[in-house]
Amino acid sequence: YSSVLLNNNNVFFPLQIDHSIVESFGGGGKTCITTRAYPTLSINDNAHLFVFNNGSQHVDISTLNAWSLSQVHIN
């Protein structure tokens, strides 16, 4: 996975979220940011997404899509 600069200065930036791990990949997959969250307090309406930017430009989240993943079956 990687961030992709789209037209109109939009960025496609996928996140992997699995229970308590949040991962983000950028730079063609050369950069990875990983953090651990504790989801016992983030259930249903208590779950939030915070986006921060250390740059000089304002950031807007125009679209957010989320999908549930199937469980992994290990043989």
CB 33 within 8 A of CB 18: no
From the number of C-beta atoms within 10 Å of its C-beta (0-12, 13-18, 19+), residue 11 rates as exposed
Residue pLDDT, tens place only, 20-37 = 788 887 777 788 888 887
Find the helix or strand (DSSP H, E) in which 18 lies. strand 15-18
Distance, in Å, from the CA atom of 69 to the CA atom of 18, rounded to the nearest integer, reads 9
Between vectors from CA 64 to CA 1 and to CA 41, what angle results, nearest 5°? 95
Which pLDDT tens digits describe the chain residue by residue (75 residues)? 555 666 777 777 777 877 778 888 777 778 888 888 776 776 777 777 777 778 787 777 777 777 777 777 787
SS3 29: helix
Whether the full predicted model's pTM is greater than 0.75, yes or no, is: no
